[in-house]
C-alpha cells in the first residue's frame, strides 16, 4: 500500500466526538426495504471481505460495501431517487392531479442526476438535470443518455442547486434534490429514507457471516451528508446490536461537514476542484445536520491523491471503486495513521478484533477520474 508523504506530513484535518455512539433517534419505515426488494433488477450489492486491509489497519475484519453496480447504475444513488420518485408520483396520483408526465428536476455532481434521469425514463416521466462545473464529460454524457435534458452550469454545485430549484417552480415540474434547506425538506427526507436499504443489507450480510452485532465502525463518503444521515439514522435507532463508530470522510476541497462540526453549527464553505466530484458540496443538508452533529463519531478530510491511492489499492484487491467510493478507505487510513493515531483509535473504540465496513459508494465507471492516475 502506498504511503503518501504529503499526507503524513500535514496536520490531520479531523474532528472526534466522544459520546456519539450513545446518541439515539427514531428509525425509518421498514416499507423502504420491501419497495426496493420488489424493484426489477434489485439484488443486494456485495459486501466483500478484504483481509489485506484488516492486516494493514490493525483491525479484525474489513468489509467493503461495493456499490459499483446498484440497480443497473454505477453508484448507490438509485436507492434514494427510486424511493423519492415513487413517493412523489404516488402522492400526485392520490391528490387527483392530471396523470400526464411530470418533469423531475435536479442538480447533481453526477450520480444522483443520472439516477433521477433513469427513474424518469423507466416511469414515463421527463427529467431536467443541472450539472455544475467540474463534472467529468463522460458523466454528463451518461445523464443525457438516460434521456434527460442537461443544463451545464458555469458555477459550483450550490449554484446548480439554486438554478434547479428555480426551474422546478414551473408547472408540472418537481424538484427531486438530495439536499435540504429551510422550506424544502420533505423530498430530500424521502431520498435519505431510500438510502436505508444499503445499511439494512449490510446488517443482513454481516449476520449471515456470523456478525449479528453488526459493524464496529462504518466509514462514509460525505458530500451534503444525506447518506451519512441515513447511516446515522440506521445505526442510532437499532433496537439491538452494538452502536458502531461512524466516520465521515470529505475531500479537503469541500469539507463543509468537518468545518460545521468544528464550528458547532452548519456553515457553507467555498469549494475547490476535486476528483471526488460527488463529494464536492459546500453546504450540509439542513435535515442531515442534527443527525451529523449528534451521531457522527468523527470526521476527516482527505486529499485527491490519497483517494486515488485507495482506489488503486482497492482495484488491486478486485473492487471497482471511484474516487468518492475510495474516500472511505483513504479517510480511515488517515485517522489511523500519523500523530495522535492511537488516541483516535481508542476514541473510536477500535481494537484488533474490530469489524470495519467501508462504504464504496461508486465504481470507477461512475467517475472516469478514478482510472486517470492508475
Ligand atoms: C459516489 C458518491 N458517494 C457519496 C456521496 C455523498 O452523499 P451525500 O451528498 O448524501 O453526502 C455522493 C453524492 O453525490 C456520491 O455521488
Give pLDDT, residue 361: 98
Give pLDDT, residue 11: 55
Residue 296 pLDDT level (bands cut at 50, 70, 90): very high
Residues at CB less than 6 angstroms from ligand 1: 75, 77, 109, 111-112, 178, 221-228, 278-279, 281, 324-325, 361-362
Contact 287, 188 (CB under 8 A): yes
Domain assignments of the chain as residue spans, ordered by start: 5-75+188-372, 78-183
Report CA(366)–ligand 1 centroid distance (Å).
Answer: 12
Convert 129-143 to b/e letters by CB count within 10 Å (16 or more is b).
bbbbebbbeebbebb
Residue 18 pLDDT level (bands cut at 50, 70, 90): confident
Count CA within 13 A, CB hemisphere, residue 119.
29
Average pLDDT, the chain: 93
Q: How far is CA 223 from CA 131, 207, 227, 256, 327, in A?
A: 15, 29, 8, 8, 11
Residue 142 pLDDT level (bands cut at 50, 70, 90): very high
The domain defined by 5-75+188-372 carries CATH number 3.40.50.1100 = yes
Is the pLDDT at 219 greater than 70, yes or no?
A: yes
Of 11-15, 262-266, 276-280, give the lowest mean pLDDT range.
11-15
pLDDT digits (tens, 9 = 90+) for 233-243: 999 999 888 89
pLDDT digits (tens, 9 = 90+) for 79-128: 999 999 999 999 999 988 777 899 999 999 889 999 999 999 999 999 99
> How is residue 344 written as a grid cell?
483516535
Is the pLDDT at 9 greater than 50, yes or no?
A: no
Catalytic entry in 65, 66, 77, 306: 77
Annotated catalytic residue 97: no
Give pLDDT, residue 370: 46
pLDDT digits (tens, 9 = 90+) for 43-57: 999 999 999 999 999
- Return the DSSP state at 178: S
153-169 mean pLDDT: 95
Strand pairing category for 103-107 and 14-16: unpaired
In the chain, the N- to C-terminal Cα span, in Å, equals 14
Which listed CATH number (1.20.1250.20, 3.60.40.10, 3.40.50.1100, 3.20.20.70) goes with 78-183? Answer: 3.40.50.1100
Is the pLDDT at 178 greater than 50, yes or no?
A: yes
Catalytic entry in 66, 109, 158, 297: 109
Give pLDDT, residue 369: 61
The pTM of this model reads 0.94
pLDDT digits (tens, 9 = 90+) for 305-340: 999 999 999 999 999 999 999 999 999 999 999 889
Same fold, 5-75+188-372 and 78-183: yes
Report CA(149)–ligand 1 centroid distance (Å).
Answer: 22
Is the pLDDT at 272 greater than 80, yes or no?
A: yes
Amino acid at each position: 500500500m502506498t504511503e503518501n508523504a504529503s499526507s503524513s506530513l500535514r496536520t490531520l484535518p479531523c474532528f472526534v466526538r466522544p459520546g456519539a455512539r450513545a446518541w439515539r433517534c427514531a428509525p425509518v419505515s421498514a416499507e423502504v426495504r420491501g419497495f426496493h426488494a420488489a424493484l426489477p433488477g434489485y439484488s443486494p450489492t456485495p459486501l466483500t471481505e478484504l483481509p489485506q486491509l484488516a492486516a494493514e489497519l490493525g483491525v479484525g475484519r474489513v468489509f467493503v460495501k461495493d456499490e459499483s453496480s446498484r440497480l443497473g447504475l454505477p453508484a448507490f444513488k438509485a436507492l434514494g431517487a427510486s424511493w423519492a420518485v415513487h413517493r412523489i408520483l404516488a402522492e400526485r396520483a392520490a391528490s387527483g392531479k392530471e396523470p400526464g408526465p411530470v418533469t423531475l428536476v435536479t442538480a447533481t455532481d453526477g450520480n444522483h442526476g443520472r439516477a433521477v434521469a433513469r427513474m424518469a425514463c423507466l416511469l414515463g416521466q421527463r427529467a431536467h438535470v443541472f450539472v455544475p462545473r467540474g463534472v467529468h464529460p463522460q458523466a454528463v454524457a451518461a445523464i443525457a443518455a438516460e434521456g434527460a435534458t442537461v443544463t451545464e452550469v458555469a458555477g459550483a454545485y450550490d449554484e446548480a442547486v439554486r438554478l434547479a430549484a428555480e426551474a422546478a417552480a414551473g408547472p408540472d415540474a418537481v424538484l427531486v434534490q438530495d439536499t435540504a434547506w429551510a422550506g424544502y425538506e420533505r423530498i430530500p427526507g424521502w431520498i435519505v429514507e431510500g438510502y436505508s436499504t444499503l445499511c439494512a443489507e449490510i446488517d443482513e450480510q454481516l449476520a449471515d457471516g456470523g456478525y449479528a452485532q453488526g459493524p464496529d465502525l462504518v466509514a462514509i463518503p460525505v458530500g451534503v451528508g444525506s447518506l451519512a444521515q441515513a447511516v446515522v439514522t440506521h445505526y442510532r435507532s437499532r433496537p439491538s446490536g452494538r452502536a458502531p463508530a461512524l466516520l465521515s470522510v470529505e475531500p479537503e476541497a469541500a469539507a463543509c461537514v468537518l468545518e460545521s462540526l468544528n464550528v458547532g453549527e452548519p456553515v457553507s464553505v467555498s469549494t475547490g476542484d476535486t476528483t471526488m466530484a460527488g463529494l464536492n458540496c459546500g453546504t450540509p443538508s439542513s435535515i442531515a445536520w442534527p443527525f451529523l452533529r449528534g451521531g457522527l463519531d468523527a470526521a476527516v478530510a482527505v486529499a485527491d491523491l490519497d483517494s486515488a491511492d485507495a482506489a488503486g489499492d482497492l482495484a488491486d484487491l478486485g473492487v471497482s471503486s471511484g474516487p468518492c467510493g475510495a474516500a472511505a478507505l483513504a479517510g480511515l487510513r488517515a485517522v489511523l495513521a500519523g500523530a495522535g493515531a492511537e488516541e483516535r483509535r481508542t476514541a473510536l473504540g477500535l481494537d484488533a478484533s474490530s469489524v470495519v465496513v467501508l462504504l464504496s459508494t461508486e465504481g470507477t465507471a461512475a467517475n472516469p477520474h478514478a482510472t486517470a492516475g492508475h
